[in-house]
Amino acid sequence: MHVRWILRSACRVFLSKSSRPQISLFASLVLGICELACCFAVNTTSQAQELWVYAQTNLLVPQEVERMDTLLQRAHKAGYTHLLVADSKFSRLSQLDKRYFDQVEQIKRRAAELGIKLVPAVCSVGYSNDILSLNPNLAEGLPVRESLYQVRSGVANHIPELMTELPALSDRRKWGFIDESLKLEDDHLRSAPPHSQNVRISKKIKLLPFRQYHASVWVKTDGFDTPVEIKVLSKEGRSLSYTNLGVQPTQDWKEHHVTFNSLENEEANLYIGAWGPTRGELRLKQPRLEECGAINLVRRDSAPISVQLEKEDGGRVPLVEGSDFEPWSDPKLGVIPYAGEYEVWHDSPPIRLVKKIPDGSKLRVAYFHTHVVYDGQVSGTASDREFQKLLDEQIARMTRLFPEGDFMMSHDEYRVMGWTEPNIIGLSKDASPGDVLTHNAKHCSEELGRLAPRSKIAVWSDMFDPFHNAVDRYYLVHGSLRGAKAPNSVRIVNWNFDKREESLKHFEGLGHEQILAGYYDANPSQIQRWLDTVVQQKLSKVQGVMYTTWRRDYSKLEEFADLVKSHPWYDQSR
């Protein structure tokens, strides 16, 4: 129970018990004073009660404009105040025609009519595919060193150095293990219910450090709804590959691929199969592992290549790009099936020689390649000045397009970083990933503040949260993210439900206003547990909550708002 409710109740009780006009008049006067005092106290200590909706869209499509218009009207009726808009086209405004901007204006007008603040998402740091469509070579890269190429007829192609051939599936003894329910049928393994706890094949593999590898398997399924994966784990249990295979629950035979970098590892454990299946059939055949050439080769100043000719006496002669060999690139980088998407596996680009070098000559090659995370995520390089320029250009265009908007910085789940040297003024060459992230968040927020001084700036919580992703060993990040900070003026959109007490206190202690990201296509009542924590811990800087859906599921939109407005936090913060 809060002060306003108590004062109101006391005065109303006094009024109801009194029959004397002068006392009733006095009590009415007290009630009015109490209301004014409460309003003054609330208005000087809090600006909360913001109800946000998260919306992914494509405003180039007329049907999407209609959908957004309907969503805005529903949100208004339910009491929502903000709409966080994520549109991949925000990264490519320079490529769009008048039709797109006219449709953006429709949404802006509707939001203004309804009194809903638009919060466009900008600065895709982490999930960077959209902005990388402008320059796919600005993707983060993993280093390859000493890769062997051999010359034939003026072209150098990659040559594997270490035998990595996997055993036949019929020879179970040569595998580390094959789970019990996988039975050999002709040329493949089959598992059907009742499955064993896991359905996998596994083998310890030898690797050369800092080389690029390719693993693949043919898969057939029938009603098998458990993800089929290829995992490569170091001796310490760290994953070297995070690429999803994309196997469908029911499909005919199809080959699936991953690539990975061995990093500093000389051995690892390879797993192919599924964990915890319950239904359907799974068939596997022709597993393969090989060292490969430069798939998704990235080329930029901060990701240099080195090509050296090995001499018979063991010495090496550096070769110069442009004079000794043609400019080297991967023509399929970041354009398959369309700009901003990175194909997991394709033929590696050869090195075409200009200088005449005898057949059989060996080259030692160093380069950087990107890594595709899960279902296509590729991260941009926040430590590179050219990537920062892309962000600056987007900020300039977006602040002109949304002069009355607030803005959401999309620094989120930044899973590959720290392998190339920074080349940005203000960052040392040995800057940690945490330093890089801090610098980039500061730069982006300052640029937004300069061009849109009346706007409020927000950012996702996870990469600045020591109880979430701002940690020492995070995915394929080289170095520590500990200490990463967003400027105190930036609002934190907090989605760390599992450690909400620690996380909320952390950002409160740093002086950040916070918005709670709830729902996530689950039970909408979860938001009340978030708010329980806010009230119990007496946190004063939580300004609002957000209905967050990745599946565009707005079926609980009104229910979510009602749950928030029925919670004591909502009235306390008014």
Average pLDDT (165-183) is 96
Give 203's contacts (C-beta < 8 A, 6+ positions apart).
166, 167, 174, 175, 176, 269, 270
| Cis-peptide into 337, omega within 30 deg | yes
**What are the pLDDT digits (tens) for 8-19?**
444 444 434 444
pLDDT at residue 420 in the model:
97
Q: Which residue has the tokens 């430590």?
A: 383
Residues 340-349: tens digit of each pLDDT: 999 999 999 9
Q: How far is CA 424 from the centre of its chain?
A: 23
- Among candidates 486, 492, 487, 496, which has minimal Cα distance to 520? 496
Partners of 221 in beta bridges: 251, 282
CA 442 – CA 451 distance, rounded (Å): 14
The mean pLDDT of 60-71, rounded to a whole number, is 98
3-state SS record for 252-294: EEEEEEEEEECCCCCEEEEEEEEECCCCCEEEEEEEEEEECCC
Would you place residue 33 in the very low, low, confident or very high pLDDT band (cuts 50, 70, 90)?
A: very low
- Category of 175 on φ-ψ map: left (φ > 0), alpha (ψ -120 to 50) or beta: beta
Q: State CA 179 to chain mean position distance.
A: 33
Q: In the predicted model, is pLDDT for residue 40 greater than 70?
A: no
- Res 46: pLDDT: 42
Please count the CA atoms within 13 angstroms of the CA of 181 that sit on its side-chain side.
Answer: 21
Per the structure block, which two tokens stand in for 456?
Answer: 């409020």
**296-328 pLDDT, tens per residue?**
999 999 999 999 999 999 899 999 999 999 999
Residue 572: pLDDT band (50, 70, 90) is confident
pLDDT of the residue at 48: 54
Instruction: Give the global pTM.
Output: 0.90
Long-range contacts of 398-401 (CB under 8 A, 24+ apart): 398/90, 398/93, 398/120, 398/122, 399/448, 399/451, 399/452, 399/455, 401/93, 401/101, 401/104, 401/120
pLDDT at 236 over 90: yes
Confidence of residue 530 (pLDDT cuts 50, 70, 90): very high
Sign of the torsion formed by the C-alpha atoms of 16, 18, 24 and 27 = negative
For strand 267-275 and strand 198-206, is the pairing parallel, antiparallel, or unpaired?
antiparallel
If you average pLDDT over every residue of the chain, what do you get?
A: 93
What is the reported pLDDT for 64? 98
Q: What is the pLDDT of residue 573?
A: 64
Distances (CA, A) of 508 to 137, 243, 337: 38, 36, 44
